[in-house]
Amino acid sequence: MDEKITPDIVFGKHTPAIEADKSLNDVNEKNSKVKTSSYREIIANFLLLKDSDFMRLSEFRHRGWITNKEIADAHFIAQRNKADFADAKTRTIFFKMMIQIAEEMHLASNIFCAERRENEDIKILDICMAPGGYTAAVLKSLPNAKCFCLTLPPEEGGHDILVDVLKIKKIILIDITLLIKEFSNNKVPDNYPLKSKFSNRQPFKCHKFDLVFCDGMVLRTHIRPGWREQTEATRLLLSQLILAMQRLRSGGTLVILLHKVENWDSILTIRSFSRFSNIQLFKPVKKHNTRSSFYMIAKDIDIHCEAAQKALLDWRLAWWQATFGGEHGLGEKLDPDEDTVLRVLEEFGDYLIRIAKPIWKIQADALSMTDYAGCR
């Protein structure tokens, strides 16, 4: 979960914060002065005009990623090396940290308070489980919970499993992005180079889960062809969302790791779940606090409602496009057009800012104390 060395958008000098009732006319006027505004710039302009916490965070990002780039680069390279070549002691520290994050998350939102139904055990699904900190936290709080796990095999670059496997009902080692029958009713195209890698398995298809963790991130250690890089993060996010929604019981809870609230994929994911669940954003105050990662917690998910089923269909279509779309059939990710971005911001932007402010503040406060982005 390391921070990108180069952010999506970097801001230089900022105008003073403007009151939160600024309309999209201000954003449109600002964008019209730029010959071609990327959708990221449109989102950034909207947030900068309306929220002081996002502006403050952007200033620290600029200081760290531009003004003090060499210092920041050295910091993140050291972080990456520590993660990629972790020894047993470091792996154990990371594992315990994940347990602490899950416990902090529970204190903030009661994620372990699943209601036990008569004659049924509480069931947990941990997608992208290794090293297993979240599952370990569940078993610590709910020792009788039945935990099922999916995770990338170590020989393909996945993390080692550190949770006590004897306490887990079943673990399947697999690249979840290749579970074709979960994501589409179509077959893998014959000309796809990695056709043989796909699996028709549908893990735990007969189970419905009370709580699903989606903690997947693109691993640098994952062995994959270079042409998958452009769409890999999108494919992984969509794979987790689809698989989780197809395994959750109605009324269940989903916890998913996302990056940058202002990222388009994050905005769409949060907006979708706001239509059929009760959502909360969570970021640990101390663990990974300088990074852009955060969690969306969706409770009381109405799996069968029209909005949920439409979201699931959209995700399945997007997964196919990201995997097999494009001129060469190797997958592509299409950027949203300006009208779509402006419409989403008009409909959802103010709500997004309200729930995102604590996330931006935690990261800004943490960055303010660093050598590469802070004021000291």
DSSP 196: G
Q: Which fold has domain 86-259+304-324?
A: Rossmann fold (3.40.50)
What is the C-alpha end-to-end distance of the chain, expressed in Å? 26
Give the residue, 35 or 149, on which the prediction is more confident.
Answer: 149
Does pTM surpass 0.85? yes
Would you place residue 272 in the very low, low, confident or very high pLDDT band (cuts 50, 70, 90)? very high
Q: Give 164-205 pLDDT, tens digit per residue.
A: 999 999 999 999 999 999 999 999 999 999 999 999 999 999
Q: Are strands 123-127 and 209-214 parallel, antiparallel or unpaired?
A: parallel
Report the C-alpha gap between 123 and 212 in whole angstroms: 9
Q: What percent of the chain has pLDDT over 70?
A: 87
Q: What is the pLDDT of residue 158?
A: 85
**Cα–Cα–Cα angle for 147, 150, 155, nearest 5°?**
135
Q: What is the pLDDT of residue 28?
A: 52
- How many CB atoms neighbour CB 89 within 10 A? 8
CA-closest candidate to residue 132, choices 83, 87, 168: 168
Q: What is the pLDDT of residue 121?
A: 85
Q: Give 71-122 pLDDT, tens digit per residue.
A: 888 887 887 777 777 788 988 999 999 999 999 999 999 999 876 666 678 9
Contact 60, 88 (CB under 8 A): no
Mean pLDDT of all residues belonging to the chain:
88
Q: What is the pLDDT of residue 18?
A: 35
Q: What is the pLDDT of residue 82?
A: 75
Q: Give 331-375 pLDDT, tens digit per residue.
A: 998 899 999 999 999 999 999 999 999 999 999 999 999 988 886
Q: What is the pLDDT of residue 37?
A: 65
Is residue 82 helix, strand or coil? helix
**Residue 265 Cα to chain centre, angstroms:** 9
CA-closest candidate to residue 51, choices 81, 13, 18: 18
56-69 mean pLDDT: 92
Would you place residue 125 in the very low, low, confident or very high pLDDT band (cuts 50, 70, 90)? very high
- Please give the order of strands across the beta sheet that includes 123-127: 170-173, 146-151, 123-127, 209-214, 248-259, 293-299, 278-282
240-255 mean pLDDT: 97
Q: What is the pLDDT of residue 10?
A: 36
Contact 331, 231 (CB under 8 A): yes
CA-closest candidate to residue 272, choices 239, 233, 315: 315
Q: Give 5-26 pLDDT, tens digit per residue.
A: 334 333 333 333 333 445 555 5
Contact 235, 331 (CB under 8 A): yes
**Cα–Cα–Cα angle for 153, 154, 155, nearest 5°?**
90
Burial class (CB in 10 A: 0-12, 13-18, 19+), 214: buried
DSSP 263: S
Residues of CATH 3.40.50 domain(s) within the chain?
Answer: 86-259+304-324
Q: What is the pLDDT of residue 120?
A: 79
Six-digit token string for 267: 């905005």
Please give the full DSSP string across 256-298, using - where no structure is assigned. EEEE-TTSHHHHHHHHHHHTTSEEEEE--SSTTTTSSEEEEEE
Q: What is the pLDDT of residue 376?
A: 55
What angle in degrees, to the nearest 10, is found between the helix axes of 52-62 and 338-367? 70
* Residues whose CB falls within 8 Å of the CB of residue 315, separated by 6 or more in sequence, listed in order: 238, 241, 242, 245
Give the residue, 267 or 34, on which the prediction is more confident.
Answer: 267
Q: What is the pLDDT of residue 8?
A: 39
pLDDT over 80 at 33, yes or no: no
Report the helix count and the strand count for the chain, using DSSP H and E. 11, 7
Report the C-alpha gap between 92 and 162 in whole angstroms: 8
149: β partners:
126, 171
Q: What is the pLDDT of residue 12?
A: 34
